[in-house]
Amino acid sequence: MAYLLLLPGGIWLLLFYVVPTISMLSVSLQEGSLEQGYRLTGNIGVYAEVLARNDTQIIRSILYGLITTVATLLIAYPLAYTIAFRGGRFKNALLFLIIMPFFVSFIIRTIQWKFVLADEGIVLGTLKEVGILGQGFHVLGENVAVLGGLIYNFLPFMALPLYVALEKMDKSLLDAADDLYSNRVVAFLRVTFPLSLPGVFAGSLLTFIPAVGDFINPEFLGSPETTMIGQVIQLEYLQNNDYPEAAALSFVLMAAILMGVFVYARLLGTEELTG
């Protein structure tokens, strides 16, 4: 009877994940063109080709994802800790402020950053007028602009799991550490942080995976020098109509992410987190 509860979720995953994944694998092994049609030929060589042509974009995307994950963790952990332990009656209001960006479209939020970071925008324009920055200084099109957009957009994905992990922690354990003459730093390192690792793991996955495949932030805030693999996949699908290459790139990206997640899970010790 208990397994029947898994049936709705299993059917959903089968229809909207397993079937499309198999279909995408089939497309990646096809050859042809949009005009003449595609046929399944088992062309495995397309994977080596897309890796050779887009290795820079793949590495850059993974690097951006790692930087975004680490940066959001460093920003979100103190934020979630403060809300969980010091929020008091303002907890709900503070949590609402975290999720409030979700009420605005992802694309619109990113475009607004483009206006903010423009050479003559409200920030840089003002700093240039008062002489703090030179007239030639710019941010758009640089790595820092893309990373800033990624960190801003994915910060809630890190903060919310961290808050949940810290909120449900047994606070009496900290009292016990205090009774054992532990200072706050030791209590945090030996009690609070280890117990919050499930939130760190969940937040890292929720941040890293979409950040690596993102194409909105580099499209609006970056330049050709900051191209990410998501942009290449979008270009191949929607403009070049090279479906096999786009599908192969998608599989390469998925495989790279899965390997990274597996290594991260082993290093963090997910068996202990769920035990």
Q: How many distinct structural domains can be found in the chain? A: 1
- Residues in the chain, total: 275
Establish if 11 belongs to a structural domain: no
In Å, how far from its chain's centre is CA 220? Answer: 17
Partners of residue 39 on adjacent β-strands: 31
Establish if 274 belongs to a structural domain: no
Residue 1 pLDDT grade (very low, low, confident, very high; cuts 50, 70, 90): low
Q: Which whole number is the average pLDDT over 41-56?
A: 91
Q: Please state whether beta strands 30-33 and 37-40 pair in parallel, antiparallel, or not at all (unpaired).
A: antiparallel
Establish if 24 belongs to a structural domain: no
Predicted confidence (pLDDT) at residue 214 exceeds the cutoff of 80? yes
Give this prediction's pTM. 0.89
pLDDT of res. 11: 92
Residue 19 pLDDT grade (very low, low, confident, very high; cuts 50, 70, 90): very high
Partners of residue 32 on adjacent β-strands: 38
pLDDT, tens digit (0-9, with 9 covering 90-100), for 87-107: 888 999 999 999 998 899 999
Establish if 163 belongs to a structural domain: yes
Residue 275 pLDDT grade (very low, low, confident, very high; cuts 50, 70, 90): very low
Residue found under tokens 């690097």:
63
Please give the share of the chain, as a percent, with pLDDT higher than 90. 55
Residue 125 pLDDT grade (very low, low, confident, very high; cuts 50, 70, 90): confident
pLDDT of res. 246: 93
**What domain range is 210 assigned to?**
62-226
Tokens linked to 273: 């987190």
pLDDT of res. 154: 96
Of the listed ranges 27-36, 172-181, 226-235, the least confidently predicted one is: 172-181
- The domain that holds 147 is classified in CATH as 1.10.3720.10
Establish if 128 belongs to a structural domain: yes
Establish if 254 belongs to a structural domain: no
Residue 270 pLDDT grade (very low, low, confident, very high; cuts 50, 70, 90): low
Predicted confidence (pLDDT) at residue 268 exceeds the cutoff of 80? no
Establish if 29 belongs to a structural domain: no
In Å, how far from its chain's centre is CA 25? Answer: 24
Establish if 250 belongs to a structural domain: no
pLDDT, tens digit (0-9, with 9 covering 90-100), for 137-176: 888 999 999 999 999 999 999 999 999 999 988 878 877 8
